[in-house]
Amino acid sequence: MKQFKSVLILAGVLALTACQSKVEYGDAKEVETVNANFGSTDLQAITDKMVDSMLTFPPVLMLTANNQRPIIFVDSIKNKTSEHIDTESVTDSISNRLLRSGKFRFIDMTKVDAVRKQLDYQNNSGMVDPSTAIKFGRQIGAQYMLYGNLSSIVKQAGSTKDVYYKMTMRLMDLETGLIEWSDEKEIRKTKTKSLFGL
C-alpha cells in the first residue's frame, strides 16, 4: 500500500511538472496564425496599407506640401464584425504612424471632457493664478476628419472556416464635406480543422 501511494505521489508530481507553462518573447511583426480571428498581423497589415496609401495619395500630398501640417481628428473606427475587436487600437496605430510622418497634427477628441474640466478648474476655481490660466476659446479646430469601418463576412462549411475582413477609411474636409482620400484593405483567412478537431 505504501508503495502504491508513493507511485501516486510521483505520478502527481510528474503530471504537475508536465503541465507547467513556458513564456517566451517573440517578434511582434511575426505572422500570427493562432486562429482565424482578427489578430496582430491583421492590425499591422491594415495600419501599413492605410497610412502608406494616405501619405502617397496625390491630393493628400498637395494638402501637406510646403510643410503645412493639416489638423485632423480621428473618429472611432466602427466595428461592424461579429467579433469583439479593439478598434481603438487600430485607430491609435494609424494615428501614431500619421503623426510620426510629420505631415499632420491631431486633436484628441477622446480627451475633450478632461480638457474642459481642467480649463474650468484653471479659470473658475479661484485656485490658479489668472495670469497663468489657459483661457477658454483658444484651441484650434480640426480641418479634417479621418474615419472608417471594419466589417467581416464569416462562412463555414464542414471543417473549413473562411473569414473575410474589409477595412474602409476616409478623410473628409470638414469645411466642404468633400472626401479627400478613401481606401480599403481586404484580408481573407481560412482555417481547416484536422481530423482530431484541433
CATH number at residue 141: 3.40.50
Cβ(146)–Cβ(97) under 8 Å? no
Whether residue 145 lies inside any domain: the answer is: yes
Q: Is residue 20 part of a domain?
A: no
Percentage of the residues of the chain whose pLDDT score is greater than 70 = 80
Residue 160 is assigned to a structural domain of this protein: yes
In a domain, 12, yes or no: no
Whole-angstrom Cα distance, residue 63 to residue 53? 14
Domain count, the chain: 1
Distance between CA atoms of residues 139 and 152, nearest Å: 38
198 assigned to some structural domain: no
Given a contact cutoff of 8 angstroms between Cβ atoms, the answer to whether 97 and 72 are in contact is no
> How does pLDDT run across 156-184, given as a tens digit for each residue?
888 888 889 999 999 999 999 999 999 99
Cell 496609401 found at: 53
Residue at 13 is within a domain: no
Taking alpha carbons only, the member of 143, 187, 145, 185 closest to residue 53 is: 185
Q: How confident is the model at residue 117 (pLDDT cuts 50, 70, 90)?
A: very high
pLDDT tens-digit readout, 20-36: 677 776 665 666 666 66
| pLDDT at 5 (0 to 100) | 65
Average pLDDT over residues 82-104: 90
Task: Evaluate whether residue 10 is within a structural domain.
Answer: no
Q: What is the mean pLDDT of the chain?
A: 85
Q: What is the pLDDT of residue 137?
A: 86
pLDDT bracket for residue 195 (50, 70, 90): low
User: Is there a domain that residue 156 lies in?
Assistant: yes
Contact yes or no for 44/29 (Cβ under 8 A): yes
Per-residue pLDDT averaged across 110-115, rounded?
88
pLDDT digits (tens, 9 = 90+) for 39-70: 778 888 889 999 999 999 999 999 999 888 99
pLDDT at 155 over 90: no
Identify the pLDDT of residue 175.
95
Residue whose C-alpha cell reads 503645412 in the numeric block: 68
Q: pLDDT value at position 15?
A: 61
Give the number of other CB atoms < 10 A from CB of residue 93. Answer: 17
Instruction: Give the residue numbers spanning the domain of 82.
Output: 35-192
pTM for the predicted model, two decimal places: 0.76
pLDDT of res. 76: 85
